[in-house]
Amino acid sequence: MNLVRKYPTGTLLKIVVVVLLVMWSVIELYPILFMFNTSLKLDPDILNHPFSIAFPPSFESYARVWEGDQTGQPFILYFLNSSVILVGTIVMLLVTSTLAGYALARGRFPGSPLIQQGFLLSLAVPAHALLIPLYFFLGNLGLRNNPIGMMLVYTTLGLPLSIVLARAYFLSFPVELEEQALIDGCSRFGAFWRIVVPMSKSILATIAILNVTWVWSELFFAQAFLSDTDSQTLPIAVASYRPAQMQASAAISQHFAIMALTTLPLIIFYFVFQKNIRKGIAAGALR
């Protein structure tokens, strides 16, 4: 009661919200900090003092994971495989979803309502139900153990939501700007490429943000379609990582090191592009 008299209701509410946000931040950040801290220790320190700060830090586990000297699985190989698949998938998603979304928003052709309903209904289909058809389909095309095959799979899985978001955005895009470009001599595609795309960075960022995380960390389809060691991605490397147990001073910490190396690119991505991410999420929510 005294607290209510001392602080106005609005101020008290702000204090409660701040406290809850701080608690939520600690809960979210602690596992990540624990992972990085443990990866910088040697096994005796992990076993004897699991919650102590790594001082002085040891990078032995990172060196072993990067070179693959105990497992024959160099981290750099899986990192490159995941990076190629991620970049290819995002590019394909951005191109196809914006073109399809723009066509559905502006075009009036037979079957367009049915196509729009089809994309919405496809969001309700469990992705894992497509495993067996995709497995035989990629096999017939000779695209198993091939990064192009994984790009096509991930693009297919990400397209329905991306197209729905792109169409919703283009429906609210000012038609007058496109008409002005058409009057000035642009073709329909020219107006789209020169006017619409440069002014649609928010929806492009939204689509990219929504797909980067799950493509980078996807394991189910990658494990089914990438049986060749040289073509596997980071999630498979993390799941199957088996260092020589207790034969070195950094066997346990190597598990934490490979998880940290896998997580670090996403952390850097969100840190560098945090302003674009906030704008993209806000634009996606408003649309």
CB atoms within 10 A of CB 160: 18
pLDDT of residue 75: 82
> Is it the case that residue 4 has pLDDT exceeding 60?
no
Instruction: Single out the residue of 88, 93, 99, 89 nearest to residue 206, CA to CA.
Output: 93
Backbone φ/ψ region at 107: left (φ over 0), alpha (ψ -120 to 50), beta: beta
pLDDT band, very low/low/confident/very high, at 257 (cuts 50, 70, 90): confident
Angle between helices 252-272 and 60-67 (to 10 degrees): 90
Domain ranges for the chain, please list them: 2-65, 74-240
230: pLDDT strictly greater than 70:
yes
Please check the confidence at residue 70 and state whether its pLDDT lies above 70. no
pLDDT exceeds 80 at position 138: yes
Residue 46 is predicted with a pLDDT of 83
pTM of the model: 0.82
CA distance 276 to 274: 5
Q: Which CATH architecture has domain 74-240?
A: Orthogonal Bundle (1.10)
Residue 154 pLDDT exceeds 90: yes
269 pLDDT band, cuts 50/70/90, is confident
pLDDT at 96 over 90: yes
User: What is the distance between the alpha carbons of residues 196 and 182, in angstroms, rounded to a whole number?
Assistant: 12
Angle between helices 112-122 and 147-171 (to 10 degrees): 120
The string of DSSP codes covering 78-110 is HHHHHHHHHHHHHHHHHHHHHHHHHHHHH---T
Contact 171, 105 (CB under 8 A): yes
Q: How far is Cα 96 from Cα 90, in angstroms, rounded to an integer? A: 10
Model confidence pLDDT, tens digit, residues 193-220: 888 888 888 888 888 888 998 999 899 9
